[in-house]
Structure 1
Amino acid sequence: MNTFVHKTLVVQLRAEGTGRCPVLAHLSYDADDPFAVTAAFGHDGRVLACWRLDREMLCAGLERPVGVGDVRLRPVVTGALRELRMEFLGDVRPDGGRHHAVVFAWAPAVAAFLRETHRIVPPGRERVPVDALLAEILSAG
């Protein structure tokens, strides 16, 4: 059984002082880390940012606003266009502000990716090998 899902999407990045520009979003899911989705954003062969997102939060963000910290998600509907708006707050800049970016992804493509992850590990069936993790931590000592 396949325990890994990867999907590449073209998304729209809106950074401070710019309009929208296309970038690639590489979404990946590994059953060994069943609660997380990794989103790596790239352009011209460079990784611009990489975020680990909570899979359940990503699902909820397709339906309603979620998040209060560094990651905030919400659906956006403009006519027939359904998007997922992902807002990311990054490291502190020298001026004391924080890096800030907004990414718009086509919601049906994100939903299809999440359905694939749910086939591998259904929601509520996630397991974390706590005993093995504790043994590793204690052995490192």
Structure 2
Amino acid sequence: MKPRVHKSLVVQLQAGGTGRFTVLAHLTYDAGDPFAVTAVFGHDGHVLARWRLDREMLAEGLRGPVGIGDVRLRPVATGMWQELRIDLLGDVRPDGGRHHAVVYAWAPAVAAFLRESREAVPPGREEVPVDDVLAEILAAG
């Protein structure tokens, strides 16, 4: 059985020029997809969004700004409160702009989740079943 790490966090979401509101973030690390963390954001039992994040990028975002694509991360300090700001850029809107949401997570909770994921599968020890992936791709073609 491949290791799996899961943590639910209370985070704050800001989208569409609104103020912050509280949602749940379910972070999952699965050794079967060893370089990714799945983040599912929900409110009142409804899934608002699901994103796959790079595990190392998530760790780097706790230390400094990272990302130039659809996902951008950076630490934010407000007094003694340390947050991880996660900017998520979505599909293009009819007006030409892009959907944009910002998630603010308590940085120590994200760091604890990442520590657990590294205990399950240390960096550099990730295994990718390349033969299985290639067989799946060739079978689909």
Q: TM-score, normalised by structure 2?
A: 0.96
Q: Within 1, Cα distance between the matches of 2:76 and 2:124?
A: 27
Residue identity over aligned pairs, in percent, reads: 76
- Note the C-alpha offset of 1:135: 1.9
User: What SS does the aligned partner of 1:34 have?
Assistant: coil
Instruction: Name the structure 2 match of 1:133.
Output: 133
Q: Within 1, Cα distance between the matches of 2:49 and 2:18?
A: 17
Q: Within 1, Cα distance between the matches of 2:23 and 2:6?
A: 16
Number of residue equivalences: 141
- Point out 4+ residue stretches in structure 1 off by more than 3 angstroms: none
Any gaps of 5 or more consecutive residues in structure 2?
none
Task: Say whether 1:12 aligns with 2:16.
Answer: no
Q: Within 2, Cα distance between the matches of 1:94 and 1:138?
A: 37
Match runs of 1:40-79 below 5 Å: 40-79=40-79
Give the alignment's Cα RMSD to 1 decimal.
1.2
Any gaps of 5 or more consecutive residues in structure 1?
none
- Note the C-alpha offset of 1:2: 6.2
Encode CA deviations 1:106-141: one digit per residue, 9 max, x unaligned: 000000000110011101111211112112222344
Match runs of 1:109-124 below 5 Å: 109-124=109-124
Paired AA for residue 54 in structure 2: D
Encode CA deviations 1:24-53: one digit per residue, 9 max, x unaligned: 001001000000000010111111111000
Q: Within 2, Cα distance between the matches of 1:119 and 1:100?
A: 33
